[in-house]
């Protein structure tokens, strides 16, 4: 039979748990202090009331721990029941029960690096709109895209606060307020405009030339992924800070951002459960990779500010050095911008270029076609760093598009949130309640047969067919299988390369320039071949999807063509 003390604790503990449940449901509690207060104060009050100034402190602690156990159990049960109940705003949307209950399931799949693959499986099982979290929807219905990505209707971008392990000093990518986001984006727009990107051509050319010299020095097998990563980091630091790394010269062990990959794994997990990030931020050593990334970024920003502008680098614009009578932003903001420049600039482009060479080497016909186009516009001895022909190189641009379609650098896409204080978002028969987080997983959209014929095949010619440069029944089409004009499927709406609208990636022009110059210069100079006996399937099997796509090694042999 339950003790009188236990009976006195059950009612008040359960009642306060239900009250706390409403607080957690209505408010995103990112403050560690608030989390502690909501977790421990109610059981303490109940225990104090039940023991009535106990003669023994142990009686109070016994009551406190009993009340805490009842309180937490009631809180968990109430949460699970509500999230699975027909009264939940997302109750009509299908999805696995465990995912409806907790974001920890999403965090698990993110930690494995297989979130994109798992989402494709869920959509095959449950349909175009799947509930993958208590308040999260994954959507692959392309007819909804113009409405879901309309900034005038939906103006809040989900802040992945867990990435920072803090709810302060959120970077531009995590700002919810549209006006503040627009203000923070202005220096980025200036620093990555067409005019600014033109100024980055010289440092980019210098880095490609150095990469070619270093590759010429190599004997035997070369890990192209490693060299591409070092090249990309060196150029990103040149572009963003006016210099700072010499990985191509000194080796990857000198990379001050060598914790970037570990940091991205942790950041990806914490983005699913932001409250956990806030808690871990107060545990010594728990966020070491992210803190190391922050420290390196702070050092780069401080050295750049102390040195001043020697070239018109990105920091020239981020620090408002191009504007008269405009004060510089706070240093913490510049540190956040430094992190964003490295994460968004180095990794994404590098991984795309590695995947591009993998796709070409695994598909000899495509490799030969692109080699022929490079030789046409930039024959051996000509200047591949002159950008005048890049726009005319239709097959090169098709290869870039096809690589991004299959291996998008941010495969699960950016998240948005319907404002909690407004009406639901209604698109036809689809109703997305206030406070709902949603996104459109790019890897699922890009590999959906309703959007692209032979969606799993690397087939650059699909882009030439869609643009009218060749016909589907022509010899140049090289379709992966039987296909007529009526059967050809190509949904441009489903192809999201750099995002849409005011929240689209501001670095599109720079990324395209970097990829085009890199490919043209390397294919003009070298002949590449995959290592004998290496299974190309190992590449796909080893890819992982965190904040950015991460690529494995790419072992190749290369030979100078001239």
- Position 530 pLDDT exceeds 90: yes
Instruction: Sort strands 136-139 and 437-439 into parallel, antiparallel or unpaired.
Output: parallel
Provide the β-strand partners of residue 137. 131, 438
- Given a contact cutoff of 8 angstroms between Cβ atoms, the answer to whether 406 and 459 are in contact is no
- Name, in order, each residue with C-beta under 8 angstroms of 354's C-beta and a sequence gap of 6 or more: 224, 225, 228, 229, 551, 554
Compute the residue count for the chain: 562
Q: How confident is the model at residue 292 (pLDDT cuts 50, 70, 90)?
A: confident
Among 84, 104, 123, the domain-final residue is 84
Using alpha carbons, list the distances in angstroms from residue 407 to 281, 395, 458.
Answer: 32, 18, 10
Query: Which uninterrupted H or E stretch holds 276?
Result: helix 274-280
User: Dihedral through CA 104, CA 440, CA 403, CA 502, nearest 10?
Assistant: -110
Q: Which residue has the tokens 């992210």?
A: 290
What is the predicted pLDDT for the residue at 185? 83
- Given a contact cutoff of 8 angstroms between Cβ atoms, the answer to whether 516 and 393 are in contact is yes
- Position 521 pLDDT exceeds 90: yes
3-state DSSP assignment of residue 132? strand
Sign of the four-CA dihedral 212, 217, 219, 225: negative
Domain assignment of residue 237, yes or no? yes
Q: List the domain range (segments joined by +) for residue 41.
A: 4-84
Work out the percent of the chain whose per-residue pLDDT is above 70: 86
Task: Indicate if 177 and 309 belong to the same structural domain.
Answer: yes
- Given a contact cutoff of 8 angstroms between Cβ atoms, the answer to whether 129 and 436 are in contact is no
Domain assignment of residue 155, yes or no? no
Max distance between CA atoms of the chain, in angstroms, equals 93
Numbered residues of the known binding site: 505
Tell which residue, 155, 209, 551, has the closest CA to residue 350. Answer: 551
State the DSSP string of 219-260: -S-EEHHHHHHHHHHHHHHHHHHS----HHHH-GGG-TTTTH
Task: Indicate if 79 and 197 belong to the same structural domain.
Answer: no
Residues 117-133 have a mean pLDDT of 95
Domain assignment of residue 162, yes or no? no
The torsion angles phi and psi of 159, rounded to 5 degrees, stand at -85, 115
Domain assignment of residue 349, yes or no? yes
Task: Indicate if 70 and 199 belong to the same structural domain.
Answer: no
- Position 405 pLDDT exceeds 90: yes
Helices (H), 85-199: 97-101, 104-112, 115-126, 145-148, 178-191, 194-199
Task: Indicate if 30 and 179 belong to the same structural domain.
Answer: no
Under DSSP, the state recorded for 149 is T
Sign of the four-CA dihedral 522, 523, 525, 529: positive
Task: Indicate if 184 and 43 belong to the same structural domain.
Answer: no
Q: Which residue has the tokens 């050593």?
A: 285
Task: Indicate if 436 and 328 belong to the same structural domain.
Answer: yes
Task: Indicate if 239 and 350 belong to the same structural domain.
Answer: yes
Q: How confident is the model at residue 277 (pLDDT cuts 50, 70, 90)?
A: low
Cβ neighbourhood burial of 87 (10 Å; 0-12, 13-18, 19+)? exposed
Q: What is the CA radius of gyration of the chain?
A: 27
Domain assignment of residue 89, yes or no? no
Task: Indicate if 378 and 505 belong to the same structural domain.
Answer: yes
Tell which residue, 361, 393, 369, 376, has the closest CA to residue 477. Answer: 369
Q: For the chain, how many structural domains are there in total?
A: 2
Whole-model pTM: value is 0.89
Numbered residues of the known binding site for heme: 505
What is the predicted pLDDT for the residue at 35? 75
- Most confident range (mean pLDDT) of 171-180, 182-191, 298-307 is 182-191
- Position 492 pLDDT exceeds 80: yes
- Minimum mean pLDDT range among 49-63, 279-293, 311-325, 485-499: 279-293
Q: What CA–CA distance (Å, rounded) separates 110 from 112?
A: 5
What is the predicted pLDDT for the residue at 482? 93
Tokens in use for 269? 């997990």
Domain assignment of residue 130, yes or no? no
Domain assignment of residue 514, yes or no? yes
Say which CATH number the domain at 438 has: 1.10.630.10
Q: What CA–CA distance (Å, rounded) separates 193 from 285?
A: 40
Tokens in use for 403? 């690589």
Q: How confident is the model at residue 393 (pLDDT cuts 50, 70, 90)?
A: very high
What is the predicted pLDDT for the residue at 217? 94
Among 84, 105, 137, the domain-final residue is 84
Task: Indicate if 76 and 212 belong to the same structural domain.
Answer: no
What is the predicted pLDDT for the residue at 224? 96
Tell which residue, 452, 350, 363, has the closest CA to residue 399. Answer: 363
Q: Which residue has the tokens 């080893």?
A: 542
Under DSSP, the state recorded for 559 is E
The torsion angles phi and psi of 427, rounded to 5 degrees, stand at -130, 100
Among 84, 119, 153, the domain-final residue is 84
- Most confident range (mean pLDDT) of 84-98, 302-316, 404-418, 544-558 is 84-98
Task: Indicate if 69 and 213 belong to the same structural domain.
Answer: no
Cβ neighbourhood burial of 434 (10 Å; 0-12, 13-18, 19+)? middle
Domain assignment of residue 146, yes or no? no
pLDDT digits (tens, 9 = 90+) for 211-240: 999 999 998 899 999 999 999 999 999 998
- Given a contact cutoff of 8 angstroms between Cβ atoms, the answer to whether 424 and 432 are in contact is yes
- Position 306 pLDDT exceeds 90: no
Task: Indicate if 329 and 193 belong to the same structural domain.
Answer: yes
Q: What CA–CA distance (Å, rounded) separates 320 from 141?
A: 41
Task: Indicate if 275 and 394 belong to the same structural domain.
Answer: yes
What is the predicted pLDDT for the residue at 338? 76
What is the predicted pLDDT for the residue at 167? 45
CB atoms under 10 Å from CB of 479, counted, come to 19
């Amino acid at each position: 039979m339950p003790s009188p003390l236990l009976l006195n604790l059950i009612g008040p503990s359960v009642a306060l748990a239900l009250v706390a449940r409403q607080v957690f449901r209505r408010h995103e509690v990112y403050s560690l202090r608030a989390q502690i207060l909501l977790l421990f104060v109610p059981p303490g009050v109940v225990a104090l009331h039940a023991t009535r100034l106990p003669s023994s402190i142990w009686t109070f602690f016994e009551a406190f721990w009993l009340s805490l156990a009842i309180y937490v159990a009631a809180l968990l049960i109430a949460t699970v029941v509500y999230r699975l109940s027909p009264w939940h705003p997302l109750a009509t949307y299908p999805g696995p029960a465990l995912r409806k209950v907790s974001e920890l399931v999403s965090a698990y799949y993110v930690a494995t690096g297989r979130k994109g693959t798992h989402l494709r499986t869920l959509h095959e099982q449950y349909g175009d709109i799947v509930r993958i979290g208590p308040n999260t929807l994954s959507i692959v219905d392309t007819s909804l895209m113009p409405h879901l990505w309309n900034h005038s209707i939906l103006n809040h971008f989900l802040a992945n606060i867990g990435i920072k392990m803090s709810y302060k000093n959120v970077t531009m990518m995590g700002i919810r307020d549209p006006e503040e986001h627009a203000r923070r984006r202005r220096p980025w727009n200036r620093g990555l405009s067409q005019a600014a990107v033109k100024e980055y051509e010289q440092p980019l050319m210098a880095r490609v030339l150095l990469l070619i010299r270093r590759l010429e020095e190599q004997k035997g097998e070369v890990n192209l992924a490693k060299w591409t990563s070092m090249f990309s980091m060196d150029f990103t630091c040149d572009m963003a800070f006016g210099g700072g790394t010499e990985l191509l010269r000194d080796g990857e062990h000198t990379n001050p951002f060598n914790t970037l990959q570990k940091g991205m794994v942790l950041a990806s997990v914490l983005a699913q459960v932001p409250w956990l990030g806030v808690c871990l931020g107060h545990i010594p050593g728990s966020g070491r990779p992210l803190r190391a990334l922050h420290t390196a970024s702070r050092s780069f920003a401080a050295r750049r500010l102390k040195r001043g502008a020697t070239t018109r680098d990105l920091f020239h614009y981020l620090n408002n050095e191009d504007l008269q009578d405009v004060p510089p932003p706070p240093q913490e903001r510049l540190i956040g911008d430094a992190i964003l420049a490295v994460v968004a600039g180095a990794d994404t482009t590098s991984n795309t270029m590695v995947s591009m060479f993998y796709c070409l080497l695994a598909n000899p016909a495509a490799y030969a076609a692109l080699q022929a186009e490079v030789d046409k516009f930039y024959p051996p001895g000509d200047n591949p760093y002159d950008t005048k022909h890049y726009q005319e190189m239709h097959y090169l641009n098709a290869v870039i598009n096809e690589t991004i379609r299959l291996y998008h650098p941010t495969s699960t896409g950016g998240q948005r949130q319907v404002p909690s204080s407004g009406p639901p978002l209604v698109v036809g028969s689809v109703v997305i309640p206030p406070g709902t987080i949603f996104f459109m997983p790019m890897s699922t959209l890009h590999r959906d047969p309703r959007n692209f014929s032979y969606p799993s095949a690397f087939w650059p010619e699909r882009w030439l067919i869609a643009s009218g440069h060749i016909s589907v029944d022509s010899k140049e089409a090289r379709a992966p299988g039987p296909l007529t004009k009526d059967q050809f499927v190509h949904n441009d709406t489903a192809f999201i390369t750099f995002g849409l609208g005011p929240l689209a990636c501001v670095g599109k022009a720079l990324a395209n320039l970097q990829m085009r110059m890199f490919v043209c210069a390397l294919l003009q100079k070298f002949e590449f071949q995959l290592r004998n006996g290496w299974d190309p399937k190992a590449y796909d099997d080893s890819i992982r999807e965190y904040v950015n796509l991460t690529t494995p090694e790419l072992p190749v042999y290369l030979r100078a063509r001239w």
